[in-house]
Amino acid sequence: MDLHAIDYPSAFAEAAKQVEESLRDLPTARLDDFPAEGTVCAVVDLNVGFCRRGALASPYADAVVPRAAALARACAERQIYTLAYTDCHRDDSPEFSAYPPHCVKGSGEEKVVEQIAAVPGIKIVEKASTNGFLNWYVKELLDRYEVGHLIVTGCVTDICVYQLATTCKAYANAEGRALDVVVPLDCVDTFDIPGVHNRDFYNAVFAASMQANGVRLVERIEW
């Protein structure tokens, strides 16, 4: 692949049209259509370090909290198994070569925000990488129980949400199991750094990529 030979303006203009078309007129979903037995709701990284304070804190992540907390609470009330992933790193994490230090154990940044932590019965799951699948907790859930639906919310769209959703889908495919991975777009978001990380671009591109990889996108889940 010769990256220097790409006509970037033309390629990006065409890709933007395709992404816009794929994300236009997404449906809503009804929570009552998800069976209590066989559904898991996973909230990703709505913690202090991404929502409130720290090198990676973003007001866009914080804005997701009320909607994601309401959905998680509605799931819990319907006896849907609900868990919250949270980044929790050692202070010499290799991940800090790619990202600034964040969510170090004992710093307070790794604590799930209070609205999520207060959801009755929610299971807090620490993870030490961008991909929550790699601590094996959700894999064990998928293997042990007949999980047919996985709802993924939280932050950020293009990193931790994307990796969990697509990895779970790929794992189920490899195991020959049907798994409906659902991402309600009103319950995910990413950060914005001018000149470095354009929020709109990364939200759109990675949402479209999730969809292309078999993840079901919905505008929201109603109940």
pLDDT tens across 48-106, in order?
999 999 999 999 999 999 999 999 999 999 999 999 999 999 999 999 999 999 999 99
Predicted TM-score of the model (pTM): 0.96
Alpha helices, DSSP H only, in 91-221? 114-117, 137-144, 162-175, 199-212
pLDDT tens across 156-208, in order?
999 999 999 999 999 999 999 999 999 999 999 999 999 999 999 999 999 99
pLDDT at 98: 95
Q: State yes or no: pLDDT of 223 exceeds 90.
A: yes
Instruction: Indicate the pLDDT class of residue 42, thresholds 50, 70 and 90.
Output: very high
Longest CA span, the chain? 55
Mean pLDDT of 4-29: 93
Q: What is the CA radius of gyration of the chain?
A: 17
Q: Which of 60-99 are b and which e, b meaning 16 or more Cβ less than 10 Å from the residue's Cβ? A: bbbebbebbbebbbbbbebebbbbbbbbbbeeebebeeee
pLDDT tens across 105-117, in order?
999 999 999 999 9
Mean pLDDT of 30-40: 97
pLDDT at 1: 87
Determine the Cα–Cα distance for residues 102 and 154; give it in Å rounded to an integer. 17
Determine the Cα–Cα distance for residues 117 and 101; give it in Å rounded to an integer. 23
Domains located in the chain, CATH noted: 27-222 (3.40.50.850)
pLDDT at 140: 92
Q: How many residues does the chain have?
A: 223
Which residue, among 16, 86, 82, 42, has the nearest Cα to 187 in the 3D structure?
Answer: 42
Determine the Cα–Cα distance for residues 144 and 168; give it in Å rounded to an integer. 14
pLDDT at 170: 98
